[in-house]
């Protein structure tokens, strides 16, 4: 199996003595759809940010798509995020002053592509998430589910190899949640790896693999 | 969990993150666009500072251009001949042959002599106390004085053939003001000059090339000789030289005026002094420039302040950008560019403000409107530098922000 992301004995401590991850090891295969569940403060988000190269571990080894995060420079990791990683957040993080297309085009900004090309790709991505009728709308004019779909389009516009979603349904009602999760499964079906944090058991059941976390450790790891 | 080995991949498979300058500028524009009022207000601080400086420079340049234009119109070929000073300090006297000697010189276009009438003063009436002379001196001269000096009449006419025989007087601009004679003299205005009544026949416009004449009253030489026994030794001779031979004429004037004692003759060129004055006018007031600099400093602190607040407010955006692939340097560059952009806009606004102020001033003073060319480049350039300095610290702060902390913040 080719590995999309692997953590070997990773410990992450924050200043003040908070230990978010304790000697945690996990390998996520390429194309795998992994759900991470667990109570708040169990280290789910930290796991995601370490996998997403946004944070380096205090101890232990992290490899993402073959890159040794511990030994890569800020530039290399940024390149990795720009080209191969897609993030989806609970709070959407959309720019309110610009249109849906431009928000999605932002997903390609740091690849250095010219704006016209980015917008073209953004329109295609918005079409894929079913928002081709909302191209020029600004985020305040969109519903919660639509906003999250714009954020998903922004994450997948670069055709990432690894999609990392941190409670993407946390701010949505159950109907919109089901749509968003279905969309993520569908988008990641072409070989991309999907790691999604949720505390909704029903959502987690739709995944090939589920891990449960508590106090910075993995307490269960089940596959379908 | 199987112990799968990590498949190594060549490093160059994934390109590094890039942000070309064109995209950086577009990105830097986004922040101010989303907060227009705030951006405008913080740019205004810079605009006021730069506007003040541009106005100072522009007003000085306009005044200078005006004076130079006036000097040009009057001609720079006027030379003055005056008696020099002896070693003991007493005035030398110009010989009574001076005028014919000068008139015989080649390259002299025209000339006029002025003879001081030391015993005479001018009053509105005999009832005015003797001591209240008003600082008005009396000179005897010839009818071509306005022409040689490049001035004209404010009203009336200058001394003519009639003035050679009868007691007529022409007043300098300032002398007329002191005597409070401002109406057009119609032959009925008289002044009491050296125990006689003189008819005021004209008032001169200010003489730019020799403003000392403004406070004088002029009568004709025959009248002065007859009534005040004025000696035919000129106290000053004005000479118009051929435009192409001013220096040559200037060098020969002293010897021609008084071949026996050329050292006792002083020759000067009034336009030189005026040009020096014009240059001095072009030197803007340091104090005003200093005020502009203070305004600029305050504007810079304003921008720095706004940028610091902006970084705090936009932690979420910074985290997002990092997640989308921005390097620390990209974040740093974005905020620095944003700050510089605000200040450059402020600089351009200041240029318009300063130019507008200069235009108003120039119009009110009937001067030509001049903005030095360097100001067009210096104003936005100063903005760029100020913005870059103001943005340095906030940009560093933004770049150092941990992306996850930033994402959690909102």
pLDDT on residue B2: 44
Asked whether the beta carbons of B237 and B256 are under 8 A apart, the reply is: no
pLDDT band at B282 (very low <50, low <70, confident <90, very high): low
To which H or E segment does residue B380 belong? helix B373-400
Give which of B157, B269, B145, B271 is closest to B203, Cα–Cα: B157
Residues within 8 A of A (CB atoms), B 327-386 only: 327-330
pLDDT on residue A91: 87
Closest in A66, A76, A115 to B26, CB measured = A115
pLDDT on residue B388: 94
Chain A contact set for B313 (CB, 8 A): none
pLDDT band at B262 (very low <50, low <70, confident <90, very high): confident
B316 interface with A at CB cutoff 8 Å: yes
pLDDT on residue B184: 63
Percentage of chain B beyond pLDDT 90 is: 36
Q: Which of A28, A76, A81, A164 has the highest number of chain B CBs within 10 A, making it the mutation to test binding with B?
A: A81
B131 CB-contact burial (10 Å; exposed 0-12 / middle 13-18 / buried 19+) = exposed
Dmax over CA atoms of chain B, in Å, equals: 133
d(CA A107, CA A88) in angstroms, rounded, equals: 11
Distance of CA B303 to the CA centre of its chain: 32
Joined tokens for residue B209: 């090339």
Distance from CA of B48 to the nearest CA of A (A): 29
To which H or E segment does residue A33 belong? strand A33-37
Q: What is the pTM of this model?
A: 0.74
pLDDT band at B86 (very low <50, low <70, confident <90, very high): low
- Strand-pair partners of A213: A218
Q: What is the DSSP string of B214-236?
A: GGEEEEEHHHHHHHH---S--SE
pLDDT on residue B89: 62
Sole residue written with tokens 């988008």: A187
Cβ within 8 Å, pair A78-B326 = yes
Asked whether the beta carbons of B54 and B371 are under 8 A apart, the reply is: yes
d(CA B4, CA B15) in angstroms, rounded, equals: 26
d(CA A118, CA B22) in angstroms, rounded, equals: 14
Joined tokens for residue B403: 């992306």
Give me the tens of pLDDT residue by residue for chain A, a chain 224 residues long: 688 899 999 999 998 889 999 999 999 999 999 999 999 889 999 999 999 999 999 999 999 988 899 888 888 999 999 999 999 998 889 999 999 999 999 999 999 999 999 999 999 999 999 999 999 999 999 999 999 999 999 999 999 999 999 999 888 888 889 888 999 998 888 889 999 999 888 899 989 999 999 999 999 999 87
pLDDT band at B390 (very low <50, low <70, confident <90, very high): very high
Which range is least confidently modeled, A72-76, B91-95, B371-375? B91-95
**Strand A3-14 with B190-193, pairing:** unpaired
Residue A34: how many CB atoms within 10 A of its CB? 23
Residue of B nearest to A64 (CA): B6
Chain A contact set for B324 (CB, 8 A): 81-82, 87, 106-107, 109-110, 154
pLDDT digits (tens, 9 = 90+) for B127-172: 888 888 888 999 999 999 999 988 889 888 899 888 788 899 999 9
Cβ within 8 Å, pair A27-B1 = yes
Mean pLDDT comparison of A208-217, B64-73, B192-201, B284-293, highest-scoring range: A208-217
3-state helix, strand, coil in chain A (%, to 5): 35, 30, 35
Closest in B9, B19, B33 to A110, CB measured = B19
Q: Is the pLDDT confidence value at B5 over 60?
A: no
d(CA B254, CA B15) in angstroms, rounded, equals: 85
d(CA B146, CA B169) in angstroms, rounded, equals: 14
Cβ within 8 Å, pair A95-B322 = no
To which H or E segment does residue B138 belong? strand B137-141
Mean pLDDT of B19-39: 88
Q: Is the pLDDT confidence value at B67 over 90?
A: no
Q: Which of B323, B331, B402 has the highest number of chain A CBs within 10 A, making it the mutation to test binding with A?
A: B323
Sole residue written with tokens 């500028």: B25
Cβ within 8 Å, pair A3-B1 = no
Percentage of chain B beyond pLDDT 70 is: 92
pLDDT on residue A66: 85
Mean pLDDT of B15-40: 88
Mean pLDDT of B196-207: 90
d(CA A195, CA A26) in angstroms, rounded, equals: 12
Residues within 8 A of B (CB atoms), A 108-127 only: 109-112, 114-115
Tell me which of B270 and B12 has the higher pLDDT: B270
Joined tokens for residue A161: 């190899």
Do you know the residue count of chain A? 224
Give which of B279, B275, B209, B214 is closest to B240, Cα–Cα: B209
- Strand-pair partners of B80: B238, B268
The dihedral of CA B17, B21, B27, B28: what is its sign? positive
For the stretch B64-68, contacts whose Cβ atoms lie closer than 8 Å and that sit 24 or more positions apart, written own/partner, are: B64/B278, B64/B279, B64/B281, B64/B282, B64/B370, B65/B367, B65/B368, B65/B370, B66/B365, B66/B367, B66/B368, B67/B274, B67/B277, B67/B278, B67/B281, B68/B275, B68/B278
């Amino acid at each position: 199996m080719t590995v999309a992301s692997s953590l070997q004995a990773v410990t992450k401590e924050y200043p003040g003595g908070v230990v978010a991850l304790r000697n945690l090891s996990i390998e996520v295969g390429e194309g795998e759809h992994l759900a991470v569940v667990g109570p708040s403060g169990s280290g789910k988000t930290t796991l995601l940010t370490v996998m997403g190269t946004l944070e380096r571990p205090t101890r232990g080894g992290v490899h993402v798509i073959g890159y040794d995060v511990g030994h890569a420079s800020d530039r290399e990791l940024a390149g990795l995020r720009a080209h191969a990683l897609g993030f989806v957040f609970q709070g959407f993080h959309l720019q309110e002053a610009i249109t849906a297309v431009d928000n999605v085009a932002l997903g390609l900004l740091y690849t250095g592509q010219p704006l016209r090309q980015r917008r073209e790709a953004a329109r295609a991505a918005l079409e894929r998430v079913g928002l081709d009728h909302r191209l020029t709308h600004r985020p305040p004019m969109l519903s919660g589910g639509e906003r999250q779909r714009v954020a998903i389009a922004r994450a997948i516009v670069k055709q990432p190899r690894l999609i990392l979603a941190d409670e993407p349904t946390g701010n949505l009602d159950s109907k919109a949640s089901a749509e968003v999760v279905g969309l993520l499964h569908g988008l990641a079906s072409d070989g991309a790896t999907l790691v999604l944090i949720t505390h909704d058991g029903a959502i987690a059941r739709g995944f090939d693999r589920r891990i449960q976390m508590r106090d910075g450790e993995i307490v269960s790891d089940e596959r379908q | 969990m199987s112990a799968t080995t990590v498949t190594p991949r060549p490093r160059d498979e994934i390109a590094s993150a890039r942000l070309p300058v064109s995209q950086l500028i577009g990105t830097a524009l986004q922040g101010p666009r989303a907060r227009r009022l705030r951006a405008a207000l913080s740019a205004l601080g810079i605009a006021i500072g730069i506007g003040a400086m541009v106005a100072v420079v522009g007003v000085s340049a306009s005044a200078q251009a005006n004076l130079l234009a006036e000097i040009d119109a009057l001609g720079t070929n006027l030379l003055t001949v005056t008696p020099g000073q002896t070693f003991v300090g007493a005035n030398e006297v110009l010989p009574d042959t001076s005028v014919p000697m000068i008139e015989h010189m080649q390259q002299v276009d025209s000339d006029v002599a002025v003879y001081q009438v030391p015993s005479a003063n001018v009053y509105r009436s005999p009832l005015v106390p003797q001591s209240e002379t008003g600082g008005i001196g009396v000179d005897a001269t010839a009818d071509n004085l306005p022409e040689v000096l490049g001035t004209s009449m404010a009203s009336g006419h200058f001394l003519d053939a009639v003035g050679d025989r009868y007691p007529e007087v022409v007043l300098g601009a300032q002398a007329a003001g002191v005597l409070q004679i401002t109406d057009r003299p119609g032959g009925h205005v008289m002044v009491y000059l050296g125990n006689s009544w003189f008819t005021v026949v004209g008032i001169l416009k200010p003489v730019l090339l020799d403003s000392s004449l403004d406070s004088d009253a002029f009568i004709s030489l025959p009248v002065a000789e007859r009534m005040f026994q004025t000696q035919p030794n000129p106290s000053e001779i004005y000479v118009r030289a051929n435009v192409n031979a001013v220096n040559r004429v200037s060098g020969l004037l002293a010897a021609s005026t008084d071949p026996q004692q050329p050292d006792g003759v002083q020759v000067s060129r009034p336009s030189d002094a005026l040009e020096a004055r014009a240059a001095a006018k072009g030197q803007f007031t340091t104090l005003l420039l200093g005020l502009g600099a203070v305004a600029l400093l305050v504007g810079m602190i304003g921008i720095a302040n706004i940028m610091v607040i902006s970084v705090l407010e936009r932690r979420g955006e910074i985290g997002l950008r990092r997640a989308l692939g921005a390097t620390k340097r990209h974040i740093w560059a974005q905020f620095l560019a944003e700050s510089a952009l605000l200040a450059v806009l402020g600089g351009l606004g200041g240029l318009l403000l300063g130019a507008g102020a200069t235009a108003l001033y120039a119009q009110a003073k009937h001067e030509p409107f001049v903005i030095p060319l360097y100001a067009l480049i210096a104003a936005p350039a100063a903005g760029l530098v100020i913005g870059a300095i103001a943005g340095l610290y906030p940009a560093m702060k933004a770049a150092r922000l941990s992306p996850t902390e930033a994402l959690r913040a909102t």
